[in-house]
Amino acid sequence: MEFDFTRFAEQLINGLTVGSFYALIALGYTMVYGVLTMINFAHGEIFMMGAYIGLFSLNRMVDAGLYERSPITAIILTFLAGMAGAALTGVTIERLAYRPLRRAARLAPLISAIGISIFLQEFVRILPAMGEQVMGLRIAGNPIFPPGWQEAVIGVLEDFGGVQVKTYPGIFTTDGFYLGEVYVTYSRVIILVISMLTMVGLWLLVKFSRLGKAMRAVSEDKDVAALMGINVNRVISQTFLIGSALAGLAGVMQGMFYLQIRNTMGFVPGIKAFTAAVLGGIGNIPGAMLGGYTLGLAEVIGIQFLPAIYKDVVAFGLLVLILIFKPTGILGEALTEKKM
């Protein structure tokens, strides 16, 4: 087979785009693992919630005419709403489902996470039906809620969730430019720029801010950190907040650039991002970024030489190989006995 440079370059850009999503989501896995040594399997669903909350706010802004007047403001507000919604979801999950289990056996929070993951998926799906049931409640034959409410409430809930695939309005077209012979859409450039800026920002935050220092201290040793006057619970909450906001950002981005969102959309990216986090060394923040891009690139480079159905085989094969030779991942340091 002749080497086709244009196609190779095209695939590199494809890989970087997918890798950006993996990296953004992987950061949440790795940060939570860093402070709690647990895998938050509901993280993919936080990503999904970000996409749904973002779309819901965007629809409100379209209704209010804000989108018409100033699309850029509306888009930025959509991102902020998605991130805030995802962050709130993440922090709530931590408070309700993980904190009570912090002293429990290691597997308990894991099972709790899987439960939350299923709960969120189905919650979004049945929300309109649930609203219909609740609004239709009667006491002694009389409806509890006034008749006008029912339609209003169900209308809002249907706008938020439901069984059907939801669609973001097509804001970004398929327009683009030629980089040499390679066609690059503007949306890809935006995805890359947003992700990379966010990750640099996060890295600076962890490295240089007080919160970052506290997070690193908690991940080193919770008890000693507490003795040093760090409010461990608050740091854990803040970690969830930041990790979930990143997933929310990825969720809104997915909706804006790929248009479709659905309640099961978190599963595959969740698994892939978890893989990326392990690949880069779980618990290590630059590792998660590196792992995300490595996985994205491995997928696209693999299928240039093998049929496309082997894409995941190549990616996971790479994971196995790396873990054989470096069991802690690319950038992972050896875990201490306590962290295990």
Partner 1 sequence: MKIKRYTLFSLLLIVVLLLAACGGNTTDTGDTGNTGDTGNTGDTGNTGNTGDTGDEMMEEDPWGYITFAPGESIKLAVSSALAGGYAVYGQDMVNGVELAIEDFGGELMGFPIIVEAGDDGCEGAPAVTVAEQFSADPAVLGVIGPMCSGSVFPASDIYAGNNVVMITPSSTAVIITARGYQNLFRTVANDDLQAEVTAGFLAEDKGVTTLGIMHDQSLYGEGIAQAISDKFEAGGGTVTAFEGITRGETDYSAVISEVLAGEPEAVYFGGMDAEGALLINQLRAAGFEGIFFGPDGIKSKPTFIDASGGAAEGSFATFGAVAGAVGAEDWATRFAEKYGDPVAYGPGSYDSATIILQAAEKVAFLDADGNLKIPRFALAEMIRATPYEGVTGALQFTETGDLAKVSITVFEVVDGDFIEVKTVDFGE
Question: Which residues contact partner 1 (rule: CB under 8 A)?
Answer: 4, 7, 10-11, 14-15, 17-18, 21, 121-122, 125, 163-165, 167-170, 174, 176, 183, 185, 187, 254, 258-260, 262-265, 267-269, 299-300, 303-304, 307-309, 311-312
Least separation in angstroms between CB 211 and partner 1 = 32
Longest dimension (CA), the chain: 78
The least distance separating partner 1 from the CB of residue 14, rounded to whole angstroms, comes to 4
CB of 292 to partner 1, least distance (A): 13
Pairing of strands 176-179, 182-185: antiparallel
* Residues forming a β-bridge with 126: none
* Smallest separation, CB 324 to partner 1 (Å): 25
What's the closest the beta carbon of residue 190 comes to partner 1, in angstroms? 13
Helix (H, G, I), strand (E, B) or coil at 169: coil
- The H-assigned helical ranges of the chain are 5-36, 43-63, 66-69, 71-93, 107-135, 147-160, 186-208, 210-220, 222-227, 232-258, 267-280, 285-302, 311-325
Closest to partner 1 by CB, 250 vs 322, is 250
Looking at the chain, how many residues does it have?
340
Dihedral sign from CA coordinates of 250, 253, 258, 262: positive
Q: How far apart are CA 335 and CA 340, in angstroms?
A: 6
Residue whose CB is less far from partner 1, 11 or 244? 11
Contacts of 64 (CB under 8 A, 6+ apart): none
CB 299, min distance to partner 1, A? 6
Give min distance, CB of 155 to partner 1, in A: 14
Nearer CB in complex with partner 1: 286/302: 302
| Helix axes 43-63 and 232-258, enclosed angle (nearest 10) | 60
- In terms of CB distance, is 109 or 269 closer to partner 1? 269
Give the closest residue to 25 by CA, choosing from 51, 43, 48.
43
223 phi-psi bin (left φ>0, alpha ψ -120 to 50, beta other):
alpha
Nearer Cβ to partner 1 (113/265): 265
Q: Which amino acid is at 308?
A: A
Closer of 20 and 219 to partner 1 (Cβ)? 20
CA pair distance 225, 216, nearest whole angstrom: 9
Residue with Cβ nearer partner 1 (12 or 134): 12
Least distance in Å: CB of 267 to partner 1? 6
The enclosing H or E element of 177 equals strand 176-179
Query: CB-wise, 80 or 313, nearer to partner 1?
Result: 313
Strand, coil or helix: 143: strand
